[in-house]
Chain A
Amino acid sequence: MSVIDNLWWIPVLPLVAAGVTAVLPRSSRRWSAGLAIGSMVGALLGSLLAFGVAADFAQAHPGVVQVRNFSWFQVGETWVRLGWLLDPLTAVMLVMVSFVGLLIFIYSVGYMAHDANFTRFFCFLSLFAAAMLGLLIANSLLLLFICWELVGLTSYLLIGFWFQKPSAAAAAKKAFITTRVGDIAFLLGIVWLYSEAGTVLFYDRGAGCLETGVLADLLSSVNGFGISAATSIALLVFLGAVGKSGQFPLHVWLPDAMEGPTPVSALIHAATMVAAGVFLVARTYPLMAAVPTVPDHAPPAITTTAETHASIVSETHGEAARGAVSTALKVVTWTGVLTALMAAGIAVAQTDIKRILAYSTVSQLGFMMLGLGTGGVGVGMFHLITHAFFKALLFMGAGSVIHGCHEVQDIRYMGGLRRSMPVTFATYAVGMMALAGVPVFFSGFWSKDAIFHAAHGWGPSAMPFYLGLAAALLTAFYMTRQVCYVFFGEGRNPVPGDGHHAVQAPHESPGVMTVPLSILAACAVLLGVLGTPAWPWFQSFVGGTSLTLDWAELRSTESLRIMGWSALVVILGIGVGWRLYARISSDPKAPDALCRVRPDIYSLLENKFYVDEIYAATVVRGHAGWARLCAWAETWLWAGAVQAAAYATVGLSWCNRVFDEYLVNFSFDRLCGGLGNGGGWASRWQNGRVQFYLRFIGVGVVLLALMMIWGCRA
């Protein structure tokens, strides 16, 4: 029994747990938590096994993907085929999702302990885990899309978990609808791909849509605007990723999604689901990066520099693309870097502890996109993994803080918590430093360094590198601001607007919450060693290249210069932040330090660049107007048409009735009457007079004889 044949068990275990939990009574809290955690342990063990197998296999056959395809059902002559696969990308993600998932499940037992719908929560969590793991092993864009929608559904369910809160219900709707915009494009891309290539399998012995044969076909089919099908499909698929991963301009749902319980924010809206978009881009990277090499066929936007041989270059792996960069990857890069910068800016002026982290997530997802666009799968995915750990750590730390502060989320009403919540403070600080990218000791530094490295060497433009540096500066700044607000200074009034209530002091969270924090903190530090320039194990594993330990690489001028830039901006960010926020007024209502310096910028950032307002003024207004127009048309046009149709039907039925009564029935009655009359007429001859009878024979004979004679003459 090979591992690949039984890979489907990994998502099925949590699915079974979700199914069983769904039918458990509400009171069986132990069972539901036990099932969920047990299934996640199983999934983690399976993932580790798969990881080992994948690592083994990758060494023996670099660049080869293990797949198992099967026929699902038949439509006409065509079989719809699905399948699963195992490659380093999947293996890494499986371990990350099941490990982080397991920790967050355990954490949730503590966090949700007092919630009445504890059982439902674990049912949804298990379902999410099943869908997410299924998404990772999917070898078909269709299966991936199914799981994609399922994680969307569980995200909706969990954001709206406290549906009695209007803001939570609204946030759930917002998340669902906004991601749906991207999903529509994604679905269009799948349909387009199917119509062009006839398959949605990724790998299918050379016939899959990520393999060179199909990619060549997709590239050679160019539409009227000079854009190849490959580019169009890649852009549509990327739109799906934009929706799911909260990239600009579809990022608006992610901060609102923080209305959900904090473990949900940590698991779904920080570590795993939002990374699904990044994973999607990584999975379809051959499609994203496909560039034609013959200049005639090249869209104008694509630079075709040194390629002269007539073949397809699909930049699947490794280092920054040399030479041609596909349109899709350019879009990915620019979207990523703009999102990173914008979201980091917005995070500077937020006051809700979870919203800051949410914008930080958006920003970091932008970094991942930047990494994918400029440096390939390895670079982007490395940041995804490190980010998953330290962001989960930060969210759970924030959850611990909120828990300790009795559901207060506004950082202006916290402060001085480093004394009352030492473990939380320590772990949070580790997470903060990893996120900010404090040099050498923290994983975030190395993963971000890899991105900067790639962006620096990016052919088309140097701008993303500098914008990325600016975003990193802002990241260090807003994280410093947040930590200062929460943990330093004096404790401010923990209950907003109500000083009279004697409130319990903030307290440390229980072990079930702090132990996962500690584990994650350790990971946030240690993971960095996997991707240093000297020993880029992660990049080579995911990218499928050979690995060498090369200290010289670390000491090269290039590396040192970029590390220097990176370290400089981090130190600058932290320094400025510390300078501004180290001593905060003990009055929660006092204006922000930055506000005093530049009120105009602060207000712009506080209002999130007015994106929501712009949407409200354009999309929402337009939609409402359109709805009003539809309502009007409904009332006056369609209703009229329906009314007219109804009258026409009535008229027609009336005509029918007339026809029926006066023509059909009438003529039938007439026929019957005629037959009856005919009977009377026929029997009238039967008058009983034998004289008449005899005359009748005579006349009959004569007539018949005459007829015969006449007939013979003619």
Chain B
Amino acid sequence: MSHAELLGALLPELVLVLAALAVLVVDLTALRELKPTQRFLGGALVSVLGCGVAVVLVGLGNGSVNLLDGVLILDPLTRVIKITILVMGVCTCLLTSGARLPANAGEYFCLLLLALTGLMLLVSSENVLVIFLSLELASVCLYLLAAFDTGNPRSVEAGMKYFLFGATSAAFMLFGFSLLYGLTGHIDLRQIAGALGPGTDPLMLVAVVMVLAGFGFKIAAVPFHLWAPDAYQAAPIPSSALIASGSKVASFYVLARLVFTGLGGTVAAPGTNWLALLAILAVSSMILGNLAALAQSSVRRLLAFSAVAHAGYLLIGVLTPGGEALPALAYYLILYGLTTIGAFGAVALVEGRAGHERLPAFAGLHQTAPMLAVCLLVFLLSLAGIPPLGGFFAKFYLFATALKAAPGNPILLGLVVVAVAASAVSLYYYLQVLKQVYVRPPGRTGEPPLSRMATGAVFVLALLVILLGAFPGALVHVLEAARAASAF
């Protein structure tokens, strides 16, 4: 390994860090005297530029790289996930123009870019220490992003809750990792897997549960989901969008890596019922998330609970043995991330006009903003899994792969059945929003115009959701090829 090799592998992350510094510098120098809107515009421009360069750099790389015994891993599937995270970062940047934020734009974009850096590093490591550190880097930035609207006590409260919850679960995770290290003497997932063997050591089980608790927090799976509604509701919307999309994508990817690479040996062990543990998380997430969403009047909380439910669906992909469902999982994650950012973007635009995001704010949207209404329709129906939108194919692909990979497995079959039933329930609350949009008369007229940039981003996202649903073949092909070339 040479330093040049390391530098080459970390170039995208380095670009992001440089962009983060550049945003600060630009904001404090060139944009200092401008209006907040223009400062945010400038910051967003620099950030998008940085992300764009990073995307290009990630895209240019090829082949598999494994540096320092798993500290830095690069393979085609990881690259796809990294690009996904960056694209979501770009979308988040674009959403800032429509959101209510304090004036110091440079700090916001700096934190955002650093969070992206953390997520990028997170997905490209098999070393538990690096995983923990990059997770913390991302998490700390996200706490700050959630609490960024310092003038708004609820935003601060949301950040605080998020931070406390995150810190506790991070402690559990670190404890779990240290137990694993104590049990095996290794911090590399593959070596841990080799050393663990098919044991039923209670200590090992406790360690696994603790590690899972950490990831459960990140993916907002029941019972580690309680922070999500509060944080999603009160944080600035771009922050919520990033937490719900980019962070979730990275966490799920790492969870899948942990399960398939690190704990692969224990999964196969008789009696060690990993599947049951994850299945409990999945079932409780699907049921609880959907039920709780029924009772919400705040659309952001509704999206939060829907995120919980989707975490349950996604866990089916993690449960599918042998990583067969990885392309399906990745497809679902990409679709889910894009849809969620789009939905949050739409909510942000409505909120920017109505001042709140409870259901009545959406009344008569199809009259006051028909394009936005159509976009919202696309996002919500995609989340509910209605054909021909992307969400339908994502669900279908995931469930079908799971059933095909393990025919006759009662747990997976049961999970799929519960997932389908829960999807039916979910339609109710998504349609509640759409009912407001399309059936109810508009409350007020003469509302201020929408941010063009944010609207454009939402529109592009909606188009992407439709296209990925109507022509899923291209992305599926890329993902299948990437999985075949990757080390999973």
Question: Contact residues of A with B, CB < 8 Å?
Answer: 675-676, 678-683, 685-686, 688, 690, 692-694, 696-701, 704-705, 707-709, 711-713
CB pair B223 A696 closer than 8 Å = yes
B420 within 8 A of A: no
CB pair B291 A693 closer than 8 Å = no
Knowing A676-B294, A700-B223, A708-B277 are in contact, say whether A682-B209 is a contact too (CB < 8 A). no
Q: CB-CB contacts of B129-161 with A at 8 A, as 1s and 0s?
A: 000000000000000000000000000000011
| Subset of 24 A-B contacts with CB under 8 Å | A675-B294, A676-B295, A678-B291, A679-B291, A679-B293, A679-B295, A681-B291, A682-B291, A682-B292, A686-B229, A693-B164, A693-B227, A694-B164, A694-B165, A697-B217, A700-B224, A701-B209, A704-B209, A705-B210, A707-B277, A709-B202, A711-B273, A712-B202, A712-B272
- In the A-B complex, the 5 residue pairs with the closest CB atoms: A679-B295, A679-B294, A682-B292, A700-B223, A678-B291
For the complex, what is the distance from the CA of A246 to the CA of B223, rounded to whole Å?
99
Knowing A675-B294, A679-B295, A712-B272 are in contact, say whether A685-B209 is a contact too (CB < 8 A). no
Beyond A697-B224, A709-B202, 4 extra complex contacts between A and B, CB < 8 Å: A679-B291, A682-B292, A690-B165, A698-B168
CB pair A697 B213 closer than 8 Å = yes
Q: CB-CB contacts of B289-300 with A at 8 A, as 1s and 0s?
A: 001111110000
B63 within 8 A of A: no
CB pair B200 A712 closer than 8 Å = yes
For the complex, what is the distance from the CA of A585 to the CA of B407, rounded to whole Å?
114
User: What is the total number of residues of chain B having a CB less than 8 Å from a CB of chain A?
Assistant: 39
Question: What distance in Å separates the Cβ of A677 from its nearest Cβ neighbour in chain B?
Answer: 9
CB pair B205 A697 closer than 8 Å = no
B226 within 8 A of A: yes
Question: Contact residues of B with A, CB < 8 Å?
Answer: 160-161, 164-165, 168-169, 172, 200, 202, 205-206, 208-210, 212-213, 217, 223-224, 226-227, 229-230, 271-273, 276-277, 280, 287-288, 291-296, 305, 425
Chain A residues contacting B168 (CB-CB under 8 Å) are: 694, 697-698
For the complex, what is the distance from the CA of A708 to the CA of B229, rounded to whole Å?
28
CB pair A708 B273 closer than 8 Å = yes
Closest to A692 in B: B226
Question: What distance in Å separates the Cβ of A80 from its nearest Cβ neighbour in chain B?
Answer: 51
Chain A residues contacting B425 (CB-CB under 8 Å) are: 675
Chain A residues contacting B224 (CB-CB under 8 Å) are: 697, 700
Chain B residues contacting A688 (CB-CB under 8 Å) are: 161, 230
CB pair A708 B208 closer than 8 Å = yes
For the complex, what is the distance from the CA of A683 to the CA of B295, rounded to whole Å?
7
Chain B residues contacting A679 (CB-CB under 8 Å) are: 291-296
For the complex, what is the distance from the CA of A685 to the CA of B308, rounded to whole Å?
14
For the complex, what is the distance from the CA of A683 to the CA of B160, rounded to whole Å?
20
Closest to A676 in B: B294
Question: What distance in Å separates the Cβ of A494 from its nearest Cβ neighbour in chain B?
Answer: 94
Chain A residues contacting B209 (CB-CB under 8 Å) are: 701, 704-705, 708
Chain B residues contacting A682 (CB-CB under 8 Å) are: 288, 291-292, 295
For the complex, what is the distance from the CA of A712 to the CA of B227, rounded to whole Å?
31
Closest to A687 in B: B226
For the complex, what is the distance from the CA of A570 to the CA of B213, rounded to whole Å?
128
Chain A residues contacting B200 (CB-CB under 8 Å) are: 712-713
Give the contacting residue for A701; candidates B160, B210, B273; CB below 8 A: B210
Chain A residues contacting B202 (CB-CB under 8 Å) are: 709, 712
Closest to A694 in B: B168
Give the contacting residue for B205; candidates A676, A680, A709; CB below 8 A: A709
Which of B208, B217, B223, B224 neighbours the largest number of chain A CB atoms within 10 Å of its CB? B223
For the complex, what is the distance from the CA of A108 to the CA of B273, rounded to whole Å?
106
Chain B residues contacting A698 (CB-CB under 8 Å) are: 168
CB pair B172 A701 closer than 8 Å = yes
Question: What distance in Å separates the Cβ of B474 from its nearest Cβ neighbour in chain A?
Answer: 38
Closest to A701 in B: B213
